[in-house]
Structure formats: C-alpha cells, structure tokens
Amino acid sequence: GAVVSQHPSWVICKSGTSVKIECRSLDFQATTMFWYRQFPKQSLMLMATSNEGSKATYEQGVEKDKFLINHASLTLSTLTVTSAHPEDSSFYICSARDPTAVSYNEQFFGPGTRLTVL
Amino acid sequence: AQSVSQHNHHVILSEAASLELGCNYSYGGTVNLFWYVQYPGQHLQLLLKYFSGDPLVKGIKGFEAEFIKSKFSFNLRKPSVQWSDTAEYFCAVNAGNNRKLIWGLGTSLAVNP
C-alpha cells in the first residue's frame, strides 16, 4: 500500500515554456502532499505543502507565480513550472501523507521527475 | 528552529566493515524519526522509522537505528556493509504537530568491494 506515482518521469522542454508534473496517490487519499526539489548530490529542499481544496503553502524563497501548485482532488496534486529557464532544471519529487495510517506523519515518496530546460 | 545534522558527509568503507552514520536533531518535544536511502539513479526509499516504543529500530537490508532521547540522536548502523549499500543516506525528522519533514544534508556512502 501507500504508493505514490509521478508523471512524467523525465521531461525536456525549451526555455520559456511551461511544464506540468503530476503526483498521484494510488491507493490512498492524500489531504496533504509535498513538493521537493533536489539538486545533484544534495538533500531535498521543500518547496511547498499542497493542501487539498486550498492554496498551497510555499517555503520562503520559492516563487509562487513560478511554481504553481494545484491540489484539486484527494489523489492528485500538480506542479506547473511556468516560463521555465535552464536554472529550473532539477529533480522534482513529491510525497504524500496518508491521514488514515497509524504512522500518519510518514510521507510516501514518488519516484521523482527529472526536468531539463534547454 | 528545528534542524537536523548529519555529521558524516562522505564515508568510504571496505566491504564487511561496520557502519555508523550520525544524526542529531534539535527539538525538545515528541519526534518521528526516519532514515531514507537513495541508490544511484533511483528514488528515495524508507530504510526505517521510529514513532514510539522500542528505541532500537530494525529496518530493511540489515540496517538498524537507535533513538537516544537524551542525546537527541538517531544514528544508523549496519554491522557489515556490502558494495550494494553504496548510496546517499538521509536522516529526517518530523517534530510535534509540524507536518513538514526536516532533512539532514545527507551522507554519501561508498563501499569498496
């Protein structure tokens, strides 16, 4: 149980275009999802907390208009990188909490999406 | 502010050597503790977790960790490492009602055959 998927697993786009990444909880309903960014050989950086039916909570320094997060249903959150630039190239990872689980604070991670902006 | 520190940034061991990776956190209340592993080119996997009960936690692949509340530590151990244990290891803490995970910077482990 507690499987999280991401789509696409990798994407290459041109500078100036927008890219949407999907995060799905496959076998549970996730009221809260998290979006992280990971640079090579570095730790995860939390970008935002996505709450179903409400606005996402962004971490300090993360541009809300640049990284649009939508959590329209209990099993889907999307991250849209708008007007992408080469510096946005990174590994984006989502995670989700299962509020019904005994270990409800545990986060289950998706496999990540590799974004390359040319 | 809550923080997690991993003392060893890069560790190189020979096969069959014992491993201990340090993890300390700063928070005085109830914590949930996690160790994740990321093998080269792969996504994060949960090694083990501590929520309550026995402070010695056993995880997958022969790993274990001990929660020592008085030392604010949750060190990861394995008695005999294998080449396949080469990976990045991350300690993470969820403190109190904060739903966010606070991450350590990670430790890169290289095991020589």
Determine contact: B5 vs chain A, CB below 8 A: no
Determine contact: B86 vs chain A, CB below 8 A: no
Closest CA–CA distance from residue A84 to any residue of chain B (Å): 23
Neighboring chain A residues of B90 at a CB cutoff of 8 Å: 43-44
* Mean predicted confidence (pLDDT) in A32-60: 89
- Contact yes or no for B100 and A34 at CB 8 A: yes
Query: pLDDT of B1-21, one tens digit each?
Result: 778 999 888 999 999 999 999
Supply B4's token pair.
Answer: 């997690």
Q: What pLDDT was estimated at residue B27?
A: 83
**Dihedral pair phi/psi, residue B12, rounded to 5°:** -120, 125
Determine contact: B110 vs chain A, CB below 8 A: no
Looking up tokens 């986060």, which residue turns up?
Answer: A107
Number of cross-chain residue pairs from A and B with Cβ atoms under 8 Å apart: 43
Query: pLDDT of A5-35, one tens digit each?
Result: 999 999 999 999 999 999 999 988 988 899 9
3-state secondary structure chain A: CCCEEEECCEEEECCCCCEEEEEEECCCCCCEEEEEEECCCCCEEEEEEEECCCCCEECCCCCCCCEEEEEEECCEEEEEECCCCHHHCEEEEEEEECCCCCCCCCEEECCCEEEEEC
Banded pLDDT at A79 (limits 50, 70, 90): very high
Q: What pLDDT was estimated at residue B36?
A: 94
- Contact yes or no for B108 and A43 at CB 8 A: no
Q: Which of B88, B94, B104 sits opposite A105 (nearest CB)?
A: B94
